[in-house]
Amino acid sequence: MTIVNLVRLSDLKLKVSAIEALENINRIDRPVLCSLDPKLCVWGIDSNLQYLTKEIANETDTIVQMCSRNEHLKTSDQFNSSRHIENVKFVRLYQQDIKQLTNENSSIEVTEVPAVVIRHENGNLEELNYFKTHRYRHPDKEVVNVFDKTFTYPKIPSKLLGDEFQFVFTPNSYRVVTQFNSPLNELRRLNVTLNHLYVQYDDVSEYLINPINEIRPDSDYHLPEKYRGISLLDELAVFADNWYRQNNKTGNKGLKDDLPKELVQGNKKAAAAAYFLSQAPKGKTGSDSSISTRCQFPYLVKALEMHVETNSTSRHQNKAVFNYLLDQGFSEDNAKYGELLSRPMKKV
């Protein structure tokens, strides 16, 4: 399963407590991930590895085996060998461990997990609840006759029945099998706190406080409620409000470079966006002092109002809005991109 839009739970502004959001996500069995301690690494091991003796290991052959929780993997004559799992960035927690964490509201220690999340070379994250390894194989008969020669094999205890395996933790330095029952002698615990937890954005979105609603009514970046959620202005307003407040800035140095590339693509479009967001814009500004005398973002709000009133579409330039911005004194580029930035992305 591909993991997308991962967010750290403790970084989010929520309508409810993080504990309540976590409980609800856990209740519907959605992935709750913990970042892997850089001092640890993950191994996949046979849950019956403790019963594997050196004698059995020495007398058996190995074949490639896929270890999966969804299939019956072995009978009483099989053991799966251990494997170090590479490129693990997160681990998925058991529901009962999450429940314990929410009850204690502090920290817990886990010894195993049901799945791991690896990062591929292209940057994608994938959840895995299986691993490929070798399998110890031993005849289930006590005596075998081959060319009139008798070979005796010890029978495997009945306790070895089952098809489960475990993802466990060892020190990060322990990455190579050094003994037949590796890595049983090197097992460690993973410490888990709320600050270590990550969830997918869609699983927590209903509990989020919309940051556009946090902007003060007297701010240059205030967007009337009736015009929220229909254009890029929401995200631009939130970005600029945070950029100036968190960085305690008054000018515009670095504003253009800090604009999210996925939000505003292209150098000219980014320059126009930075111009309208700046608290110290350079160049021609709007002529209507009743709208704004400093930051030019309120002109984009006015442009959005005109878009809505004239039933603009997302694919076509609204010439009335473009001409309005020109008439206010803006340069042709700023009027062009101002119309585009304020254009509704969906039908109102």
What is the percentage of the chain residues whose pLDDT exceeds 90? 53
What is the reported pTM?
0.62
The answer to whether residue 228 scores a pLDDT higher than 50 is: yes
Average pLDDT over all residues of the chain: 83
Residues 6 or more apart whose Cβ sits within 8 Å of residue 201: 4, 5, 6, 7
pLDDT band at 304 (very low <50, low <70, confident <90, very high): very high
Q: What is the mean pLDDT of residues 194-202?
A: 94
Q: Is the peptide bond before 298 cis (omega within 30 degrees of 0)?
A: no
Give CA separation, 28 vs 21, 95, 98, in Å. 11, 10, 12
pLDDT of residue 318: 94
pLDDT band at 75 (very low <50, low <70, confident <90, very high): very low
**Parallel, antiparallel or unpaired: strands 33-35 and 197-200:** antiparallel
Give CA separation, 330 vs 10, 285, 294, in Å. 42, 6, 14
pLDDT of residue 68: 47
Sign, Cα dihedral of 298, 303, 305, 308: negative
> Residue 186 and residue 179: Cα distance in Å, rounded?
11
* Highest-scoring range by mean pLDDT, 60-69, 178-187, 201-210: 201-210
The answer to whether residue 60 scores a pLDDT higher than 70 is: no
Q: What is the dihedral of CA 328, 289, 280, 267, to 10 degrees?
A: -20
Give CA separation, 74 vs 16, 47, 161, 178, 309, in Å. 46, 12, 8, 24, 68
pLDDT of residue 346: 65
How many other C-beta atoms can be found within 10 angstroms of the C-beta atom of residue 266?
11
pLDDT of residue 181: 67
Q: Mind listing the pLDDT tens digit for each residue in 127-172?
A: 998 877 766 654 444 444 545 555 554 444 323 223 467 899 999 9
Which range (6-15, 67-76, 128-137) has the least confidence?
Answer: 67-76
pLDDT of residue 58: 59
pLDDT of residue 87: 94
Instruction: Locate the domains of the chain by residue range.
Output: 2-207, 211-342
> Residue 342 and residue 236: Cα distance in Å, rounded?
10
pLDDT of residue 157: 35
Which pair of tokens denotes residue 348?
């109102």
The answer to whether residue 15 scores a pLDDT higher than 80 is: yes
pLDDT of residue 261: 84
